[in-house]
Amino acid sequence: MTKPPQWLNGCLNVSIDRVNHSSVTLFLPYIGLYISTSVSKVEDDLGGIQTQGWINVYGVTDLLFWGATPIAPGATVHGDYCLPPEVPVVSLEKKTRRKIPLRGRLRIDAYYFLTEQDWHKNEAQHEQMMNTPSAQRDRIDIKYPEVVTIFAKTPCRETDCTSICDTPPVILHDETRVVPDFGDSQPDWDAQGKMVGDELDREAPTCAGTRPIPH
């Protein structure tokens, strides 16, 4: 990261340099940078046991493209990413959709191939998978790229309460991000999701006795 994440013009700005520190050319997948936000996942609806989890904010796509681009030794690829303050999560089982805030931490996963041969092998295996019946796809051994993972604290917004701004939002065990976000066109899913969110808010710590962070 070239600087700490910061809220700017309504979104969380994340500035990242991917640098090739090796002595050989590496290959960056076109879809190879993923940013996730931390969540506290309720593992079952009854027990209330919570574990740390992650929900993707940037990088997951329904585009099927396995290309890569070379990055020469010593070269840098810079990117500035504007993350929305909220990300929708969906329960396909309960047919709910709601938005959770970016709070807690960010996880950034940057993928790369060590050689051009590794990239083309990965590309061919994915093409093979797309032409294979779903029941047989787990038999295909995929050559996955290497990955570098870094973590960063999500800064508090000016409207956040200091007592909870570092706390990851709670999601249920069957809630996840769906791409494309087809639930956006299902108003009844949003209505059901609001009920879920309201119930979780009643059980979560509140801002009572605290003040928002000053401007």
Q: What are phi and psi of 163, to 5 degrees?
A: -75, -20
Q: Which domain holds residue 83?
A: 6-203
Residue 173 lies in a domain: yes
Which amino acid does the sequence have at 113? F
Residue 1 lies in a domain: no
Residue 130: what pLDDT?
74
CB 83 within 8 A of CB 108: no
Residue 24 lies in a domain: yes
- What Å distances lie between residue 155 and 75, 138, 197, CA to CA? 30, 40, 23
Angle at 114 between CA 108 and CA 116, to 5 degrees: 120
Residue 214: what pLDDT?
37
Residue 211 lies in a domain: no
Mean pLDDT value across residues 37-47:
78
pLDDT at 140 over 80: no
pLDDT at 215 over 50: no
69-94 per-position pLDDT tens digit: 999 999 999 999 999 999 999 999 89
Residue 212: what pLDDT?
41
CA atoms of 72 and 94, how far apart (whole Å): 48
Total structural domains within the chain: 1
Residue 204: what pLDDT?
67
Residue 50 lies in a domain: yes
Residue 208 lies in a domain: no
3-state SS class at 62: coil
pLDDT at 213 over 60: no
Residue 210 lies in a domain: no
Q: For the chain, where are the E strands, in sequence order?
A: 6-8, 11-19, 26-29, 33-42, 50-58, 68-71, 76-83, 86-91, 96-101, 105-112, 146-153, 170-172
Half-sphere exposure of 182 (CA within 13 A, CB side): 6
Residue 163 lies in a domain: yes
The reported pTM is 0.87
* Look-up of token digits 């997951």: 60
174-195 per-position pLDDT tens digit: 999 988 887 677 889 899 999 9
Summary mean pLDDT of the chain: 86
